[in-house]
Amino acid sequence: MSFNYSRIIIKIGSNVITRADGLPDAERITHLVNQIAEIKKQGIEVILVSSGAVASGRSLISVSEKSDAVAVRQLLASIGQVKLINTYSHLFGKFSILCSQVLVTKEDFRDRLHYLNMRNCLEILLQHQVIPVINENDVVSVTELMFTDNDELAGLIASMLNAQALIVLTNVDGIYTGDPKLESSSIIKEVNDAGIDFASFVSSGRSQFGRGGMITKSTIAHKVAKLGIAVHIANGTKENILTDVLANKVIHTRFTPTKKTSGKKKWLAHSENAATGVVQVNEGAKTVLISSKASSLLPVGIISIVSDFKKGEIIKIVDEHNKTIGLGLAEYGSDKARELTGQKNQKALVHYDYLYLQG
Ligand SMILES: Nc1ncnc2c1ncn2[C@@H]1O[C@H](COP(=O)(O)OP(=O)(O)O)[C@@H](O)[C@H]1O
Ligand SMILES: N[C@@H](CCC(=O)OP(=O)(O)O)C(=O)O
């Protein structure tokens, strides 16, 4: 049985695009573009999240090893992104397909208006049959402003565009039960909502040119699947991998999508870093909020306003043990919330439509 998706995000990792010597693998990129063109011909909308700017830069310039690592990354990415996008543009052009360059930073996902502007841009590209090729803007994203890696970025894009699936291509067949190099390890074919402790068997090690490693892939995949989007982690170095994944013909790891979530909640799900305020709730409120019943956060269940916020800002909701249980959009500021804390029959601080609860 093949998967019937109409909109997919494909993430191509550094290790898929890069040869062992650190230079871009032109043959592989060509093969992937050929498959994407084939998928597009079937009427499936495709958004590409592609790493490879740094690797492409490496093929164009040599830099002294003594130079500052952050500056070198900026230099390589700045030069390399031009080559990367030119490669895609040339290869897609052979199929008369237009692609576009979209470079983003973590900041672009913070503010809802900015987020919606970005979404509108991607939607109009898709409406015009263009394949957006997205990468982090490595030239301005440094240290704490960076995404953990492009897996995190791909997860955000999948949520933003209500995609049905996210396909993450890496250099192993999927998530293994242990070190992929050991014979005793096997591929986990299906992950469902039951919740697996990935950290217990996925090592934090990364492959040569990767940034986040398999741990970020697992965490992001789990989060995205819980928002109702299927996630496939597969080996991008294998022949016909994309068409085979969609035809369900190849062994890989698939995270089963669970409940459907609204666009607003999907945005909130990825907004922890943008939260300004923190609100602590009691056990009763926690139970009601995480139950299957749709409930808003009312002042009666609030114990304290831990840090300040203004109306319309994102707040983190924590339980009595300071564990984060969700994120929401404040209907009013922290001054008013403090006045109402513990009181019955008051206006909700977070309306259910603007409340995302981590499960
Ligand atoms: N349990 C595991 N299953 C699969 N891969 C693992 C596991 N533990 C660690 N890894 C490592 O994660 C690497 C893939 O992540 P990463 O280096 O970030 O790649 P990419 O560039 O594709 O994002 C694999 O090459 C593998 O060495
Ligand atoms: N933006 C960088 C890639 C960063 C990155 O996180 O890569 P990956 O390990 O593939 O998720 C580049 O284009 O070189």
Helices 150-160 and 213-226, interaxial angle, to 10°? 10
3-state class (DSSP) for residue 242? helix
2 within a domain of the structure (yes/no):
no
1 within a domain of the structure (yes/no):
no
For residues 8 and 18, what is the distance between their CA atoms, to the nearest angstrom? 23
Q: How many angstroms is it from 333 CA to the middle of ligand 2?
A: 38
Residue 21's pLDDT band (boundaries 50, 70, 90)? confident
Residue 204's pLDDT band (boundaries 50, 70, 90)? low
> Is the domain of 244 the same as that of 154?
yes
170 within a domain of the structure (yes/no):
yes
Whether residue 266 has pLDDT greater than 60: yes
270 within a domain of the structure (yes/no):
no
How many other CB atoms are there within 10 angstroms of residue 323's CB atom? 9
pLDDT-wise least confident of 52-61, 72-81, 107-116: 107-116
* pLDDT (mean) for 317-327: 94
267 within a domain of the structure (yes/no):
no
- Pocket probe for ligand 1: among 200, 207, 209, the residue whose CB has the most ligand atoms within 8 Å is 207
State the pLDDT at residue 195: 64
Residue 216's pLDDT band (boundaries 50, 70, 90)? confident
- Model confidence over 175-201: pLDDT tens digits? 998 888 889 999 999 998 666 777 777
For residues 146 and 54, what is the distance between their CA atoms, to the nearest angstrom? 15
CATH of the domain at 40: 3.40.1160.10
Where among 261, 288, 318 does a domain terminate?
261
Q: How many angstroms is it from 180 CA to the middle of ligand 1?
A: 8
- Model confidence over 157-178: pLDDT tens digits? 999 999 999 999 999 999 998 8
* Residue 14, ligand 2, Cβ within 6 A: yes
Structural domain boundaries, residue 239: 7-261
Q: Which residue has the CA at smallest separation from atom 10 of ligand 2?
A: 13
Question: How many domains in the chain?
Answer: 2
* Residue 206, ligand 1, Cβ within 6 A: yes
- Model confidence over 326-355: pLDDT tens digits? 999 999 999 999 999 999 999 999 999 999
Which value does ipTM take for this structure? 0.93
* Residue 159, ligand 1, Cβ within 6 A: no
> Is the domain of 128 the same as that of 236?
yes
